[in-house]
Structure 1
């Protein structure tokens, strides 16, 4: 009883004290002093690129970058998403480019973290190595639904210096492309409608933006990934082919 009384008394005094401030309550105080500045910072391109880089670096070392970064930034991205949804439902201009759907549909939605669907396609159709072809075929069904652990741990991507550059570079380039495409009005902003991150490419982009342009920009992203990955995949392929021929 004593801890309960002390706890209730302390927080009651806080509540009474905030009634005499310009905010009126602690919730509005936290929103104005803490949440609003963080939301303003989090919706910028710079902060978004930092988040993408953190995700890629963490995954490279075997840590689930998406979960780790999302646990910090989801409150900001979800707030921006809600603002877009409210504006969309009211028929008003949608305010935010960066939202939870922007991060999921136009990054994770291209084959999972790191946008590896392009790498899977390259392994299936452009590699001669039996190992890489097999990994591509096994990873393709899951990759279509943006589950890419078979690639991350099967290629592997984790601690593999050969493919570190495209692993980090491709998502960064694509985020910049989509951001400026939306900023220029070429692609509508995300409406705030929740689209499951496992929704396949093109469909997810169209649903998230309520437009065909959302699907087209995802195809462009896929092609960018393939261009970024191609020389590095071929280098890895040559190494694997040599090893396989020596084993025979």
Structure 2
């Protein structure tokens, strides 16, 4: 055991430490965290509409649904301004948080990445009109000469100045925002740090001075992205950058994320990082959020539109089924300590840590027990989440439990969170309960064994 820990400490810890200190990854993680107010507001709207419209509608409670229409309409407005445009919101927070990491003007940084994102989108919309009868030859020629396409009883035309709201502003735009926004931010930050800026006298108000300071870096970065995206559409016959990113990068990554190997590897890495005192969920947050959160937001938006969800494993799936009470499912360890431990030190920590643990906060037990670098608890800390994630993954794959469809607050207690997040699937809390029993059974023997290690036992 000591040899394994020494090997991990030599080869894994330096990598984890280096990853956790990369400013770009920290900025990306913080960009997702900053969007939390919008994601939670939109998720509440989706949840309320499920309660007021979707579930009653299944039982033909039309009178109730009609009476709730004003509230349903307000919820739809909130969803439209939050989850439906999540990519747009993220595009700003990405540049803002990255600029904070490099200590340059953050508001201008957010504006730069937002503008860069918009340049990668379709800027025209096609409208199709179905006619009652086919047009005459002369009428059809007039429309064709004007740029429309006439076929049988339909007329299709394109109009410039419209973004494809549904297909581009939501989670489908995240990878484009990361790539184009990241490129624009890199140019902006480099020029700001090189002081290629407009200097204003000290007498100028700070807000005005900061705005003028960012003018040259912002112009250069936006024009650089503008040249790139324009050239892209010319070279690839009008294809916008977002469509290419989604087809060649985002969709393959999301498809890969649904494989058991990817889910298992991520779970294992988080546990290993945590064991050595490195916040695994934070260090790997950019991976968790850019891939599995993207899948989750896609599910939420499809659920709100009464469409079939596409992804079975999402960001919250880890928290609900593998990390009950935090990474390692340490709340199950605390329960085992209350039942089996005779050690006064462990019971004292458990008394203090149980309340935060119920709400998914496990730092008190991680560093107070401690779990970090504790050879006694290394095996259950690694094995319990691995076994639990394996059970949950295949149960969901087999269709026995619904996937995540609603975003919930991460500090929501177990059983309640899974019931709400799956759109009121009663089987989800049962899966959580079963996994909790399995995790408890893995932790318990090691808690009993720990009694023999400390000579100061409590009768």
- When the two structures are superposed, what TM-score results if normalisation uses the length of structure 2? 0.50
Distance in 1 (CA, whole Å) between partners of 2:322 and 2:283 is 16
Distance in 2 (CA, whole Å) between partners of 1:14 and 1:172 is 44
- In 2 relative to 1, CA 138–10 (structure 1 residues): closer, same or farther, beyond 3 Å? closer
- Once the two structures are overlaid, the 10-residue window that deviates more, 19-28 or 174-183, is 19-28
Greater C-alpha radius of gyration: 2
User: 2:364 — aligned with what?
Assistant: 150
User: 1:169 — aligned with what?
Assistant: 383
* 1:101 aligned onto 2:313: no
Q: Which ranges of structure 2 fall in alignment gaps of 5 or more residues?
A: 1-196, 198-215
User: 1:17 — aligned with what?
Assistant: 231
Using the TM superposition, give the Cα deviation of residue 134 of structure 1 relative to its aligned residue in structure 2, in angstroms. 1.3
User: 1:211 — aligned with what?
Assistant: 425
Cα displacement string for residues 71-124 of structure 1 (whole angstroms, at most 9, x for unaligned residues):
22311112211221233223333221111221222233x111111111000111
Distance in 2 (CA, whole Å) between partners of 1:25 and 1:130 is 64
Distance in 2 (CA, whole Å) between partners of 1:8 and 1:144 is 47
Cα displacement string for residues 106-148 of structure 1 (whole angstroms, at most 9, x for unaligned residues):
233x111111111000111211111111111111111111111
Distance in 1 (CA, whole Å) between partners of 2:217 and 2:348 is 61
- In 2 relative to 1, CA 18–176 (structure 1 residues): closer, same or farther, beyond 3 Å? same
Using the TM superposition, give the Cα deviation of residue 33 of structure 1 relative to its aligned residue in structure 2, in angstroms. 2.1
Distance in 2 (CA, whole Å) between partners of 1:185 and 1:32 is 27
Distance in 1 (CA, whole Å) between partners of 2:242 and 2:418 is 35
User: 2:408 — aligned with what?
Assistant: 195
User: 2:439 — aligned with what?
Assistant: 225
Whether the 8 Å contact between 1:117 and 1:222 is mirrored in structure 2 is: no
User: 2:261 — aligned with what?
Assistant: 46
User: 1:83 — aligned with what?
Assistant: 298
Distance in 2 (CA, whole Å) between partners of 1:93 and 1:52 is 27
Using the TM superposition, give the Cα deviation of residue 8 of structure 1 relative to its aligned residue in structure 2, in angstroms. 4.5
Q: CA RMSD in A?
A: 1.8
Whether the 8 Å contact between 2:275 and 2:378 is mirrored in structure 1 is: yes
Higher relative contact order (Cα pairs below 8 Å, separated by 6+ residues): 1
Cα displacement string for residues 132-191 of structure 1 (whole angstroms, at most 9, x for unaligned residues):
111111111111111111111122110111111110111011111111111122211111
- When the two structures are superposed, what TM-score results if normalisation uses the length of structure 1? 0.90
* 1:32 aligned onto 2:229: no
Distance in 2 (CA, whole Å) between partners of 1:121 and 1:9 is 59
Distance in 1 (CA, whole Å) between partners of 2:453 and 2:237 is 67
User: 1:178 — aligned with what?
Assistant: 392
